A and B are shown apart, each in its own frame.
Chain A
């Protein structure tokens, strides 16, 4: 287990009594969650429990209907100015990578910094190469995403997010679409990122990752946060019956 020296008590995300509905379906119920700077949180739970929806609310890919979400002291509302500020501070990595297939790896990484952050092209490219080196694929910079393996694509996606120099990174099941032999390279990249002190919210079923880097693990079911604890206690003595059932299902096979 990595000891987190970067964790501070300065909150960067505060979610207060947040509710969300898809039509009539109450998908998130009374969610309250605080995340401090440098904190690494893993969210797990059965499929359909609302964990992806929860982190997608944090950069407003999904709109919540009740309660407050405050990111970096800015409240998420319909106001576009706030939204753009928050989105350039919050990076997101998706299950299906979502790289732009018509752009090279380097262009994928520099597009947003150049146009959203107005970085000069040369600077953006230098930054991108630095981050591609960090995720260990600088030699692929001029290729197109379609020419890379799944693991490489996901690492590019991580580098692309990091190019915006975000303060918070959201991971939405980053290894679920990968072949088994590629999961490790992505997880290793995420572990290295965690060591730099990045605030991370990770939706994943990789419990090894949770044990290794998480400061706290959240279990969600049916739109509610059922249990939140540090990984040691979470895995060794889960309190709620549903947590126990879930853990027995994913750990014993």
Chain B
């Protein structure tokens, strides 16, 4: 091998040695770096092949997508019997919401993305106009889902169920708990003793009590605590409880973010003559929220999945609908299919949240841009 010599200051940038970069380099370094490593790779590939072969067979190739009952399914093929889902998909999505009115849910759901877009993506074109819609959206959604106005048929809460119920509980809980959590976090850091004590009590109480207890309180006792004459529906009471519960967690996550901000940031803001609220709005919160994104999304995902707990107070979330399906003699014993389907729904929603938070973190990372 010939070593070329260069005069000082003239050494060129050479390409890395072959086989250390690119797909080939990665495979060589990670899968076939030694004999034992190569053996393990081959064994794993074979194992994966047999596993995946079986899984794909059960899920798709040997599966039955339409039949009248479990027995009918089994007569056709021995894979998964997805008929329990396809025959009841309406219930899984809408609960017992009247079939003729389901378009209202569809529209509410689709417009939800329009309402969230300007909040989630700050660079979106025409953001200002979309924001007006975001502000208006809760009323729009309420009227459309509940009915009773503009000639829309009034629908009882008790008919709500399925994924629609999960999304209503989850989205309301998430949207309400973030601002409440921010206020609680600021309250806990406040110099005003009353505000601080109240915040600490609220946070510690909510965190110290199991969510199920709060849901039972919501279903049975909350009306005793509220002023006489107020009579919230069970759905609103449950949303309030979810909001309080997750706000307490969010508050602690954000407090961590606030405490991670160097003292110098406040000193610089003070030295510029900024007031408490100016500091909070422009210096503290943007930085604290950015630091807390993983923790906040963590709490949101937890809240979203915890919405399945409402089954204990008789609301029919997807798991409740699933149980109802399984209780049907036609579909008895298809719990694997049912629960896998529900799990898939939750996974897709939660994975989307998690990807969004990663995207946001990267976007807000101003160090490496």
Contact = CB atoms under 8 A, between A and B. Distances in A.
Contacts of B278: 115-116
Most buried by A among B272, B273, B286, B369: B272
Contacts, number: 75
Interface string B66-108: 0000000000000000000000000000000000000000000
A88 interface: yes
A100 B274 CA distance: 13
A252 B263 CA distance: 35
Contact of A115 (B262, B265, B271, B274): B274
Contacts of A164: 272-273
B150 to A, nearest CB: 42
B272 to A, nearest CB: 4
Nearest to B287: A102
A61 B272 contact: no
A111 B282 contact: yes
A144 B267 contact: no
A61 B271 contact: yes
A102 B369 CA distance: 12
Contact of B273 (A101, A103, A116): A116
A96 interface: yes
B191 interface: no
B364 interface: yes
Given A116-B278, A144-B367, A102 B272 contact: no
B366 interface: yes
A144 B290 contact: no
Interface string A104-119: 0000000110011000
A91 interface: yes
A193 to B, nearest CB: 16
Nearest to A80: B275
Nearest to B277: A115
A96 B275 contact: no
Most buried by A among B265, B268, B286, B369: B268
A61 B263 CA distance: 11
Given A100-B283, A146-B366, A146-B367, A112 B273 contact: yes
Given A94-B264, A116-B278, A146-B366, A101 B270 contact: no
A98 interface: yes
A115 B267 contact: no
A161 B272 CA distance: 7
Given A101-B367, A102-B287, A111-B282, A61 B267 contact: yes
Most buried by A among B282, B283, B286, B367: B282
Nearest to B282: A111
A188 interface: no
B367 A98 contact: no
A112 B267 contact: no
Contacts of A88: 272-273
A145 B369 CA distance: 11
Nearest to A62: B267
B272 A94 contact: no
A144 B366 contact: yes
A124 to B, nearest CB: 13
Contact of B286 (A96, A102, A112, A160): A102
Contacts of B287: 100-102
Contact of B274 (A112, A144, A147): A112
Interface in B277-320: 278, 282-283, 286-287, 290
Most buried by B among A87, A88, A94, A100: A100
Contacts of B270: 59, 61, 87
A219 B268 CA distance: 26
Interface in A43-91: 59, 61, 84, 87-88, 90-91
Given A98-B264, A100-B283, A102-B286, A112 B366 contact: no
A218 interface: no
Given A87-B273, A96-B264, A112-B274, A147 B369 contact: yes
Contacts of B265: 98, 100
A92 interface: yes
A144 B369 contact: yes
A94 B366 CA distance: 21
Contacts of B275: 84, 116
B274 A116 contact: yes
Contact of A116 (B272, B367, B368): B272
A102 B366 contact: yes
Contacts of A116: 272-275, 278
26 contacts: A87-B271, A90-B271, A94-B268, A96-B262, A96-B264, A98-B262, A101-B287, A101-B367, A102-B286, A102-B364, A111-B272, A111-B274, A112-B272, A112-B274, A115-B278, A116-B275, A116-B278, A144-B369, A145-B366, A146-B368, A147-B367, A147-B369, A160-B272, A161-B272, A164-B272, A164-B273
